[in-house]
Structures are given as C-alpha cells and as structure tokens.
Amino acid sequence: MNKTTEMPLSLQVAEKIRILIRKNELASGERLSEQNLCNQLGVSRTPLREALRMLSSEGLVKISPNKGACVAEVSIEDVFHMFETMSILEGSCARLAAERISDADLAEMERLHGQLETFYRCNDPERYMRFNQKYHKFIQAKAGNPILSEIVSGLRDRILLHRYRQIYYPGRLDASMEEHRRIMEAFRARDGNRAERLMKTHLVKQCQALVTYYAEQGQSINSRR
C-alpha cells in the first residue's frame, strides 16, 4: 500500500503565491483580491486565508483589519538590514561548519555544489536557487548550533523572496556561481575564517545586486516615511 505525503493545500497555495510575488506578477503594494486568487489558484477561501496568514508571518504579505491583504512593500533600509544580519549569521554558520564537517559531510556539499554547477550551465536560475537554498541549509545544519540555526531559519523565510529576485540581475548568476566556487574551496581546506569571510561577501553581493535591480525596475523600495 503506497503512502502519499502530499503537501497540505494551504502550503501549496502559499508556495504558488510566493512564486507570483517572486516573479513580480503580484507587485509590491498590490491589493490581493481573495476572489481573484481563489479563481486563479482553484481553491476555496479557507486554504487561501491560511496561506495568506503564513505569508504574513514571513513578511511577504500585509494583512490589515477591515482592509484585507496586500503584497508587503519593502524599504531599502529593510533590505540592507536583513542582508547585513544574514551575512553575519551565515558567515558564522560557514566558519563553524568548515571547522566541524566530516568527510561524508564534505562529500554531500560537493554533490550539492555539483547541482549548482549543472543548473548554472543550463542557465536555469529557478532550479539553481532551489539547490542554493539546500546548500545553505546544509551548511547551517552542519554548524552544529541549534540556537544559531533557529535564528537563521526565521530570517531565511523573510529574505528568500529577495534572494530569488537578485539572481535575475544581469551578470548575477555568473557572479554567484564564482562566489560558490570560492566558498567550496574554503570548505575543502577546512578553513573556517576564509569560509566565513567569503560567505559574508556572498551575501553582501546579493544585496548590492538586489538594491540595483529594484531601483532600475522602479519598484517599491521606498525610504521610511
């Protein structure tokens, strides 16, 4: 008897809305019509509302009493502060992981890195970013610090949309792959300090590309009022 482990409907709906936001088919600040989304996604209001609550907790959607939901807007300050914080946290994860990984762990990192190379050569940013997330999460886990991991996971959900968007900036996919190659060299050498420095630089470069991308698109990266 086959067991199915299908993702709950609300999670499926949340992921579909994330993709719409990521591709800017739902723009920053756009009001979200429940009826339109139900029709577009082929679901009832109950899983949709549950999905919107999830996205609200991630900072992707803003829900206002008596006004409904809209795609959250983001400020340059928010983007900078999120990436600055994540660079420090992921840098620490990289240093600890480089100092603690086993040979088997390194082999798994090589496998994940190989997938990044494959999707880079195929010019497939979506699948590249999917494995990029797995790669970063693996490093996070191998840091061996559950408190640090919990904090990183919370911020990762908020920063994920922006990580996907920055990869589409011209030349960013090439730069990201080269940064990953250097990070892997540091892990192969078990050089924690170099892994930390390179991981921080990787996040800073993502932020720079993202801010430029948003500015050129004229999207809602507004200064705080």
Say if residue 114 is exposed, middle or buried (CB neighbours under 10 Å; 0-12, 13-18, 19+): exposed
DSSP 7: P
Tens digits of per-residue pLDDT, 130-186? Answer: 999 999 999 999 999 999 999 998 888 778 777 887 888 889 999 999 999 999 999
Q: What is the pLDDT of residues 69-106, one digit of tens each?
A: 999 877 778 888 999 999 999 999 999 999 999 999 99
Structural domain spans, the chain? 9-71, 76-217
Nearest alpha-carbon partner for 180 in 172, 148, 157: 172
Q: Identify the CATH class of 9-71.
A: mainly alpha
H helix or E strand, kind and range, residue 156: helix 146-166
Please count the other Cβ atoms lying within 10 Å of the Cβ belonging to residue 205.
18
Classify domain 76-217 at the CATH superfamily level.
Answer: GntR ligand-binding domain-like (1.20.120.530)
